[in-house]
Amino acid sequence: MAELKGYKGKIRDLLISNKIDVGNLVKITSELTYSGILMPRYESGDESHIVLKLKSGYNIGIEFEKIEKIEKIGEGQSSVESSQTIEKDEKLPKILLLSTGGTIASKVDYRTGAVTPALSATELYEAVPEIAKIANVDAEVLFSEYSENLQPEHWLEIAKKVDSVADSEYTGIIIAHGTDTMHYSSAFLSFALSGFKKPIVLVGSQRSSDRPSSDAALNLIAATKFLTRCSAKGVFIVMHHDESDNAIACHLGTRVRKNHTSKRSAFETIGSPPAYIIFENEIIDNSYKNKKEFSKEYNPRINLDTKVALVKYHPGFDPEIIESLIKLEYRAIIFEGTGLGHVGKTMYESIRKAKENGIFLGMTSQCIDGRVSMTVYESGRDLLDIGIVPLETMIPEVALVKAMWVLGNSDSDHEIKKMMLEDCASEFFTE
């Protein structure tokens, strides 16, 4: 008998007496009759319910006191599934699918109940056989991590891999990526690989591939269609456009944020519509102002310096935090200020010290949309006099990543400011 993770007391005794283990297929007679796979419980969860995964894929909790009968009816689903062979049509274009992990590359392990990054890139391809009718896919695993575990060194590894196939026969690159930090990765790739000769698409999923209403397959299919049928260059994020399955959005990699925790349409382009909409077999070009990317000469600069802080100002913010960043020898601070780009006057002295220590100071806004405009109010003008640089319409997270990239590719204060204000990868937009 396994650990029966999360089950205690009378429930645990009941399961043991019936020789039932996590992962077994069971039938429970209560007010209704339920059949499903016994799932583990969170250790901190209440002790009065048994959790089953139904055939539909949804989990339910059944109150222990209402259970009339429980019986084991099967060993449950194996966590190892056989692979199928996908025949390639050599007439189709070739794309490279790189897997980094995340929900799109995850499935439930029915022995533990955990959603784990267990699918390899090849398994992901095999799980969506429709892709084989659109393109030939070469698949490779770079790493298998949830995106909250990805660090700037992972960005470098992804960028170097993509750069290595710049002159290959691939029509484009798909990067399977977790959604939580996907917009950070897309921003870095946009700067480091500016002018790349082929489209690069990061694609994720809000719901794992074995769950009901998963968006994994539709997002992957749409990404493949985009790479093979659109002449765009640049770095994009492809995710659901809305809660329907009819439209998938293609967002420019430096103009996108994850704006919802769980919706399939969590990602949104800030300040304009998505660059493209993939609607069944049609790709709608929204004339996004990224056309200059098409003619840029490819000049990879795959370097960064992580000595950059993103500081969200709030009432009661302790200026000592800025003093600490100075002591830690940070080279840049990106402020996420209020409104048009303000912080309280209690911050001024520490900001002045940061400037005197040669730290680049950039200002973005906490507001989801709009531009920084620091000449409107006296407080903004005071901050300009201290030396803060307004970053116009740049998204705070993008400004953070860009500063890391800029510091990795420049040493002089003048060059750092110049590069931060230069539109390198469509990170600025005109309202």
The model's pLDDT over 107-163, given as tens digits with 9 standing for 90+, comes to: 555 445 555 555 555 666 666 778 888 999 888 889 888 889 999 999 999 999 999
The answer, yes or no, to whether residue 77 has pLDDT greater than 70, is no
Which of 133-142, 145-154, 282-291, 310-319: highest mean pLDDT? 310-319
Listed in sequence order, the residues at least 6 apart from 414 whose beta carbon sits closer than 8 Å to its beta carbon are none
* pLDDT band (50, 70, 90) for residue 313: very high
- Out of 103, 224, 269, 393, pick the active-site residue: 103
Phi–psi pair at 271, nearest 5 degrees: 90, -5
Which among 61, 38, 60, 37 is positioned nearest to 48, based on CA atoms? Answer: 61
Average pLDDT over residues 62-91: 74
Dihedral pair phi/psi, residue 280, rounded to 5°: 55, -110
Greater model confidence, 181 or 104: 181
Residue range(s) of every CATH 3.40.50.40 domain in the chain: 308-421
Q: What CATH number belongs to 308-421?
A: 3.40.50.40
Is 89 marked active-site? Answer: no
Active site residue 100: no
CB-side exposure of 275: number of CA atoms within 13 Å?
A: 27
Whether 400 shows a pLDDT value over 70: the answer reads: yes
Percent of the chain with pLDDT over 70: 84
Kindly report whether the global pTM for this prediction surpasses the value 0.95.
no
- Using the structure block, give the residue that is written with the tokens 């060059």: 415
Question: Sheet harboring 389-390: ordered strands across?
Answer: 308-312, 332-337, 360-365, 389-390
Measured between alpha carbons, how far is 40 from 20 in angstroms, rounded to an integer? 12
The whole-angstrom separation of Cα 322 and Cα 330 is: 10
Whether residue 258 lies in the annotated active site: yes
Structure tokens at 191: 């700067």
The catalytic residue among 179, 181, 269, 393 is 179
**Mean pLDDT computed over every residue of the chain:** 87
CA distances, 276 to each of 201, 284, 303 (Å)? 12, 5, 29
Pinpoint the residues of the chain covered by CATH 2.30.30.520.
9-74
Q: What is the CATH number of domain 9-74?
A: 2.30.30.520
CA distances from 22 to 67, 75, 81, 246, 264 (A): 18, 9, 18, 38, 30
The answer to whether 364 and 271 are in contact (CB under 8 A) is no
Into which CATH architecture does domain 94-295 fall? 3-Layer(aba) Sandwich (3.40)
Catalytic choice (21, 53, 100, 180)? 180
Single-letter amino acid, residue 253 = G
Measured between alpha carbons, how far is 110 from 40 in angstroms, rounded to an integer? 9
Q: Which among 353, 331, 357 is positioned nearest to 410, based on CA atoms?
A: 331
Residues linked to residue 269 through DSSP beta bridges, in sequence order: 256
Q: Is the pLDDT of residue 361 over 90?
A: yes
Given a contact cutoff of 8 angstroms between Cβ atoms, the answer to whether 182 and 204 are in contact is: yes
| Residue 253 buriedness (CB in 10 A; 0-12 / 13-18 / 19+) | buried
Question: For this structure, is 430 an active site residue?
Answer: no
Q: Range(s) for CATH 3.40.50.1170 in the chain?
A: 94-295
